[in-house]
Structure 1
Amino acid sequence: MVAPTNTRICHFYRQKRCRKGANCPFLHDEPASAQLVTTSARPPACMFWQSGTCTKGADCAFTHDPASTSSSNSAHTSRPECMYHLQGKCRHGEACSFAHSTPTLPIKPPTNRHPLLQVPAISKEQPKTTASRCALQHVTSIIQHTQTSNDIQKITELPQRQGVSQNIVQETEESRDAESHRDLVWHAIPGSHVQVRFGDGAVVEDVMTAFDSTRIALSKLPPDASEETIRSLVNSFGRVEDITLFEPDAGNESAPARAIVEFDSCLSALNAATALNELAVTSSLGVTSICAASVLARAGERGVASLRSNSIRLSWYAPSRLAYAHYAAIMHAKAAAKRLDKRTFDNREVAAKFQKPTWNQHTSFTVVLSNIPLSADSLHLSRFAGATDVTLGRPTYDEYRAILMLRQILSTQFGDLESLETQATRPGATKLKALARFSSPTAAEEASAALHNKQQSFLGNGPLWIERIYSIKYTASRAQFLAQRHDLELLQAEDRGDYAVKLRIYDVDANNDPVDPVTIRVYSSEPKALGKLKVVVENLLAGERWTDESGAGVWDACFAGVDGEELLAAANATGNGYARRDVHRRSIHLYGSQEGQAFLRLYLWHELESLRSRRQQLKVDKAMMRRLVTGGFARIQDVFGIENVTFNVAARTLEVRSDDVDQNTIQQILDSSSVPALDLAVAAAECPICFCQVSKPVTLLCGHVYCATCIRDHYMASAARGDTFPVVCLGEDGTCGVPIPRMDLQRLLKPDDEAAMMRSSFLAYIRARPNEFKYCPTPDCPELYRPTAEGTVFQCPSCLSKVCPACHAEFHEGSSCAEYREAKAGLGGDESFRLWKQKNSVQPCPGCGMHLEKISGCNHVVCAACKTHMCWKCMGVFAATDIYGHMKAAHSGIFD
């Protein structure tokens, strides 16, 4: 065992992460005065230890003292109860900042009966809320296992749980409503790290991206900062759930303090981190420090933008040998040394030096020739030197063994070495070069500091020079690469002057087999030059967005489905370039030569028009509605095919894709079926969908009754794939409008339909907020982020790309945001889009920022994304009932 050599407490031991055990040079014993200050004065009793299930033993952060059972009341009352634990959904477990105490019920037994005999009476009526059911089950379990009056007394003394009704049996409707609104669940969006919280009607309540968090880290605080100081800083940004203050280590009381603050929402945390960063903070004793604040991201990486590289370029002298040229006379040798010095032999510059003879030497005088290539032979060299004889010395080192040794040193001493590639040199070059790539910038920095300009024995005691290389990696599908191969190879061969900016393409593996995707790397030792080429490569790889004659992007809903996938595959099979869909941004991108892109535009437009011409949308009246939902829709699917028929119950529309279909055709199909016509004289309770007497009733919270088949198989199925939210009751001829409770949606929807509805609601929510959320710039990457100020960089947890959340592009290594935008503007950038907006009078929605184009009609415009009602003349926002009065009063009419 190694005795501690330092009086400081081990930082990792505090976090229970120290792996050195007894060999750690720092102390593993906490001092008498605790360094970690939290909001509770004493750890609460371990509820798992009390139930005999705790597995952490002495490492448990909670009290295992038998006396703690009776004293846990006071410990628990110092912290509020965890609302999510009450609901059985807390994900933090023992690490939760809120109390997880055992629930209790106020049992008041009559004087003539034992308290335990009251349990059956309590359980006759089951509570309706999740929290109450869990509490009742837990308490019943405790009572059933209690054998003594002392245990019964302990039950009655358990701390009352916050949020649980004093009498579970007599729960009111108001408490059930409050519970249903509070019981919101975070849903993970498949394929991404985004989490969404949904409410009634499947409406989005909140979105948490991978870079969002409810926690922020505060550092560089005054050494004497207290919890009250922290709370005064953060209270104004939202509800604070917890504050953990880390005081300076013992013996270093002047060091800045640190703290972690947890809010109830990620937006509060983001606002607090933005406002508190670089803010002057003064403690109660008058000590002032400049605070640093940052969000603790849930996934990926979020930090200050800095230029760091995980690549280095190594160079060293090429192996050579010495040669000894012999001359008969001393005067000839001295003349040869002057003549041969700095002359070129086999593309190498030779150094020649006369070797001073010994005092009794009278014949065979020598000139030492250095930097002689290994391939030189004595006969050729004798003629070059004009010598009577030449003796060749040993090589300075073995090149093959030197490369092996260099690889071993880099991989074993500085971390994970991803690759070491030797670079081609011109014939006769005096130096050899290689490019080493590590898994982290830290490893590259350590290797550079340790090896640069240091003599290495395996290089014949020659020096090794290291230069930092900044590189950026791109990937493209093989289909896209083949379409753009010519343009990429032109960039690769382009001469960029003095700057060593290189572009390399890795389209085959070590066995020379094609790879998919293809990797493209851009690297340089000069960050500015790298940034310029980066913009060029990114614009090339982004392709050309498919637009129509007016400059508007071409998109159709079919491109998001199987039909669009097959259409693009057929276009790509022609060999005239490559077309790719971006479902998130609803756009088509074209790659290849200008002629190839022109062909793809014509081909796709012709096929799209053919698809659109076969798509007919029919309005559904009451009589047709009943026939459709009672078997007629299945008959129509049999005639036209399931994939060619879409029934939107809420919008009362039927869409059929066929060359020859109209209202009469549909009516004939329904008449030929065995479905009875609607008797409009029926006055019994009507289903809001089929308008006939309810069959197998399903009652919603608002009181309207539906046929089980109508609401499940038709309304829910069509709403799950729609884009109108919240999903509301259709009662009272569609005027009810009460959002369907989330629990009812779960009960009515099939699992696949529920997932589809949640995703549709989420996508509609994001589309309506283009300024609040942005997609990762990598094509088809599903991750979202919130725009932030300049100087921040995100690393996407899905595609691992570095993103600049201010420029909404991949992080521009070596360039500021202003320099990047200037470089992009010089290549055209978004200038064409700006000119098109100006020419076509396109304006951003004042509600969500989405660009709108008014082709005809009056100046009352409704945004399709956020449903904002606006006056197109002045872009003012008004209620739907007030906008016409405004246009007449302010603009003398509703038209231009």
Structure 2
Amino acid sequence: MRAMTTRTRKKAEKCPRGNNCIFKHIQETPKPPPEVPTPSLKSETSSTPAALVLSSTSAGSSINKFSTTAISPPSSQTPTPASTATPAPAKASVHTSKVPTPSTSRPPVLAVRPAMKPPLLPKPAVSVQSIVPIASVRPPEKQATPQPPMRRPRPPSNEVCRRWLQNSCVYGHACRFVHGDVEYDEEQVVQPSNDEFLLSVTLHDHMRVQCSAGLDVQRIQTAFESSTLLVSNISPRVRPNQLRENLNSYGKVEDIWMPAMFSAGTVVKVTYSDAAEAQKAQNALNGTKMYDLTITAKVANSGNTTTATNVFLKDTFIRISWEAPAKEVYAGYANKEDAERAIQIARDSPLNGHYLKGEIYEGMPAVDVVNVRFRGVPIDVDKTDLVRFVNPVDIMWTRPIYTEFDDPVRFIKNRLKEFEYESIDILPPPYRDGGMVRAWASFPNATKAKDAARRLENRKPRFTGFTPIRATHVQSITYNIVSEQWAKIGSGIDKLQALHRSKVVSINISRRESGARSVRLSGDDQKELAHLKNQFEQILKGETVCCDGKIVYDSYFTRREGAEFLRDLSAKNPSVYWENDIRRACIRLYGYVIDRQRFAGAIIARVKEFRSQTMHDIQLPGRLLGAALGNKTLRDMQLRHGLDNAHLDVQRRVLRVRGDFGLYQKFKTMVDQIEQGIPKTSYDGPTCPICFDKPTSPIRLQCGHLWCRGCITHYFQSAREQKAFPLKCLGKEGRCGTKIPIRVAKEVLSGSELEATVTAAFLAYVNARPKEFHFCPTPDCPQVYRTTQQKATLQCPSCLTSICTRCHTEAHDEFQCSDQVQDELFKKWVKEHDVKHCPSCDIPIERVEGCNHMTCTQCQTHICWQCMKTFPGGEGIYGHMREVHGTFGLGQVFD
């Protein structure tokens, strides 16, 4: 192979391949040092001049080792006897070289090791007296420098040493893993792990809450906000990658739908991680011109859709009703019982697509002893059909009010055109309430819908027989339900529909080819519609069995006998569908409200029966609590008898046993055995920051501290009760401060417990920001909304209440806000009393007596009452009052 490059001699000497190397080796000759006058050196027995040979062992230093030797003369001369030659030093590195005699013209040559740099020679000639053997030369002694203090750098990994946990690691501070008893030079820097993420939870069907580590709430998307952006009117010349890059510049895009190529009418749906990002993108993109078209960007209306059950809420509909072509029939009966039976038949069964409306009639014409007037009888029904249907003694009928069904339909459509109606849906027969035809018309907005309803209301055209047309602006909620879900809840919805058939709200059910159902709730009374929506969604989503606002559940339902109890209840109540959610510790019921209440009552009674049994407490002092938490045999006993019958109370340090004395004795014996097995020697390893004992079923946090599983579970429970967030590690005597990872919360909490903890964090977040968030004014409604700078009206998706965002009450479009009316009275009262507003939450505070150090009961802010300055945690407030005001409010501190 042809060599493509070369190597120097220095590198070639290190090459182990030799002649087999693919590179060419060149023996590089170092440049000779500057010529130096050769010293006159004579042998004691010969006059042959000697050559000075130097050897350097340090390339970068001055001459460290040097020696002299006699150069052998040419072969023609008599060799010098060895006994008379000048001996070389024993440790000197000597090189001999044949050099010409003084008679030749070549000067003496210095022989130098090729791997070493030439020695640095002094400029003056070297005399023989200055050259001494190398053995007599000693380098200068170096002064000892003081050693720096020993450093203990932190290991590159934050992982705790397993051998140290077992008291078997011998490396100490030199270990590659962290030791809890070693003080390192650097503070620990907690790197975010790859498994950390924002926990996203949907609360109360509409709100989206995102939490980071420690269940620290990062953002809230209320039911009145939307993070979905709709982009349309995009030029075909725009490339999808170009648009995607543009959309990403306004925030984090979680989901995006767009076609491979844009065309007329294409709408791109973009979902951002936050509603503010979607609003920012709308403000930037809407009206922007790309190539030849102007882009339209609009944030999707959050009130129209919810992701949970495919629900559509609209207020752009009007309901229209008029009488179908029909006639009245007077039927005679021999007695009242036969007449009432006929009325019931007409109410329950249709006749040629009409439900007849019958009533006892007194007056003319009198057909028999008891007369019944039936309205809405189809015009094609004859006497034979009517006799077969309601079996009268005899009948009489009137002339039809009109005969052409299409005439009123054309009239209504012509009147609605001026209001730009989008569609009209005429419900097919059977027609109820005496043959009333119902239709639904939709409009671009609520204003046009209201105007159209006013235009049609109570019109009496000739081609309806001068009977009135009714038109009402209504709100409608449409639910799309798949066939599998309908099989569970269909019977309950049918009963609810029958219950509201003749009221101001109604339920209309449409069947699709796939077997799915489209259920529309509608009404012109908003409160009645909200009540119907609540009843419907209890059937749709199921109702959790509760008592006094708390979930009713017992570990009895996780065992075989509990499952048999639920199956027996289901056999007695076949219209109720139930789910036993063991993971969330709850029972959910589906069906009509009365049937559900009966089913839930039996469950509550059984749980109360268990709760009424005697409770026994077994104390777990000292290290016994940790040993009990980690004992597998005790855990198996708890599961066998039910966790509700034997559970560990970490806060009280007791084992609570529910049942008779025999069951108590079993667990007491087990605890005694655990106590006997505890080693007598004290434990000096890492301890749990809660119980200060050896961690049982340990969980290691990111900071390296170990917790007992039971202790950290109780820590989450206490946070829920006290609403104290974010949750931080309590290691280093509470000074650690590292937030507990979300993975730990998901590991130790059940689904329902995690949701309850996030709900508590959400409430703590909202309550700490009273100027930013407000609750819906409807009692018990959990929805919140953000305060707006300008007056606006929002509609709550849960209770359908319209909210005034200025005074935070129900909307009052044509009236002044109530707070404006009450402001003068309240201001007058404030002046007459010692009342001020909290600087943090703005709640009124009245000081009656005492110190000027005030603490707001709403937001826990520490306030100086005299100047209303706030002090986080109360630190420095008394020094401030003494130095600035000279008083604590109880008298002068200084004269």
Q: Pick 1 or 2: higher relative contact order, CA cutoff 8 A, min separation 6.
A: 1
Richer in helix (by share): 1
**TM-score normalised by the chain length of structure 1:** 0.40
The higher radius of gyration belongs to: 2
Could you state the TM-score of these two structures normalised by the residue count of structure 2?
0.40
